Amino acid sequence: MKKTKIIATIGPATNNKQSIIDLYTAGVNVIRFNFSHANYNDVEKTVHVIKDLNKKGITNLSLLLDTKGPEIRTGDLDKKIEYIEGDIFNMYTDPNIELGNNGLFCDYQFLLEGVNIGSQIVIDSGLFLVEVIEKQKKHVVVKALNSATIGSRRHVNLPGVSLNFPGITEKDISDIQFAIKHDFAFIAASFIRSASNVQEIKDLFKRADCNTLKIISKIENQEGVENLDEIIDISDGVMVARGDLGIEVPIQKLAIYQKEIVEKCNKKGKFVITATHLLETMIDNPVPTRAESSDVFNSVLQKADCLMLSGETAIGKFPIKCVEMMTSIIEEAESIVDYRFEDFSNDNLSLRDIEKKLLIRSALFIGKELGAQSLIILTKTGLLARLTGAFRPSIPVHSFTPFETSVRNTNLLFGINTSKLEKWDREDFSHTLDEAIDELKEKGIIKNGDKVVAINDIQKKGTEIPIMEIINIK
């Protein structure tokens, strides 16, 4: 069983009941909805299907909503414009100005203040590059660095520019409220640039009396990289969103930033996702390139919690085969990784959480030394599971909880397999543990003669000090 989790994006290629089952069987743990393209009615129907499959025990999938976030676009055009390398034209921020010969409108009102002579502007997701050669009162003059044909409403990126944007847009607020209503487990917040952006989302959660949604901050530009430490500290997890990040920073630095983000998250005990273009050519082809296979392999070696597929499963011709391929590469990579105890910082932990962390470390060490077949966790909130995953456990970990939300919130954590335990005794740890062991025996995961280590955070007689136990299965 693989330890590194997989997120798959739902789309026309997979938005049906059988495909969702097949994605899960192939190795998917979390279903992503891209709200740059989604509409509420369609998502609501799919969410209902997934919840029904989960309830019947056919799947164990969590839901992730990826926000559109603030964005910059060009304006509407009557017809496409063909630019030739070396062309000089104007870019305007006033929608009422006549564009003139080959001019482009840009809906970022602070464009003139943000760019300088020599700044590059990236249009249409990197297909068209222009350089600012002059700044006027109401427009900038740019020079085309390559030839391209540009249509309406194309994406615009301003590498190196500190953008004057809110952390979340009105659309994001509406979408997050939808996620709260429909029991999503994760919000992937686009274009997070500072801790204050994340705090805006947390404040929205607080106003909605929601304490179960987890925030994943997507690092997509230079500002996010520069403020990485404060973003990690305030977030539940982080995504290396290599699509826009690869446009916003020099491409030769992308691999360095990916490595830095994953390592910092590991050291701070926060979960981390590597995303974008992992198996991109499998949108059209039944096998990946050698470079893509190596990319997935190395992402596992870097010890990301989770890898994400986007267009590969949303619009690809081979979505299930793509997940099967990723699963097989993950399993091969994990077979050579030395998952020793990866300790992490106590900076974001309370004293009580540090006590739990120390117990988990001891349990993992004892389990490895004894050759235990499993570490069993009994947890109400999922905290023990999150702390355990941060250690990158080498032995199988099976987490049990009485709450559906805790199952969903731990589904993308490295090495953690969480189930809802129906027979949960709030006062008797031993009885609850027996139920968990019986369930694992019924599934064939453990058998008589095996050793397991068990820990819990069940409150007993007014205390929350967790308990560890070594058990010989009989």
Long-range contacts of 110-113 (CB under 8 A, 24+ apart): 110/163, 110/164, 111/140, 111/158, 112/138, 112/139, 112/140, 113/164
Provide the residue-wise pLDDT of the chain in tens; the chain has 474 residues.
Answer: 899 999 999 999 999 999 999 999 999 999 999 999 899 999 999 999 999 999 999 999 999 999 999 999 999 999 999 999 999 999 999 999 988 889 999 999 999 999 999 999 999 999 999 999 999 999 999 999 999 999 999 999 999 999 999 889 999 999 999 999 999 999 999 999 999 999 999 999 999 999 999 999 999 999 999 999 999 999 999 999 999 999 999 999 999 999 999 999 999 999 999 999 999 999 999 999 999 999 999 999 999 999 999 999 999 999 999 999 999 999 999 999 988 777 899 998 999 899 999 999 999 999 999 999 999 999 999 999 999 999 999 999 999 999 999 999 999 999 999 999 998 887 777 889 999 999 999 999 999 999 999 998 766 555 566 789 999 998
The whole-number pLDDT of residue 462 equals: 57
Q: What angle do CA 62, 66, 67 make, to 5 degrees?
A: 145
Predicted pLDDT at 429: 78
Tokens of 175: 């979408």
Contact 361, 438 (CB under 8 A): no
Identify whether 32 is a catalytic site residue.
yes
276 is catalytic: yes
Of 398, 435, 432, nearest to 415 by C-alpha is: 398
Q: Which pLDDT belongs to residue 195? A: 98
* Rg (alpha carbons) of the chain, rounded to whole number: 24
pLDDT, position 464: 61
The residues, ordered by sequence, that sit 6+ positions from 466 with a Cβ below 8 Å of its Cβ are: 355, 356, 359, 384, 455, 456, 457
Q: 0.75 cut: is pTM over it?
A: yes
Is 218 tagged catalytic?
yes
Q: How far apart are CA 389 and CA 87, in angstroms?
A: 53
Q: Thinking of the domain 81-157, which architecture would CATH place it in? A: Beta Barrel (2.40)
The domain limits of the chain are 5-70+166-334, 81-157, 351-472
4, 46, 67, 276: which one is catalytic?
276
- From 32, 193, 214, 268, the catalytic residue: 32
Neighbours of 256 (CB within 10 A): 12
DSSP class of 381: S
Can you tell me the distance from the alpha carbon of 345 to that of 338, in angstroms, rounded to the nearest whole number?
20
CA distances from 453 to 2, 66, 366, 376, 428 (A): 20, 37, 8, 6, 17
**Looking at 51, 73, 143, 441, which residue is catalytic?**
73
Task: Return the CATH fold of 351-472.
Answer: Pyruvate Kinase; Chain: A, domain 1 (3.40.1380)
Of 154, 214, 218, 356, catalytic:
218
User: Rounded distance, CA 109 to CA 289, Å?
Assistant: 41
* CATH code, residues 5-70+166-334: 3.20.20.60
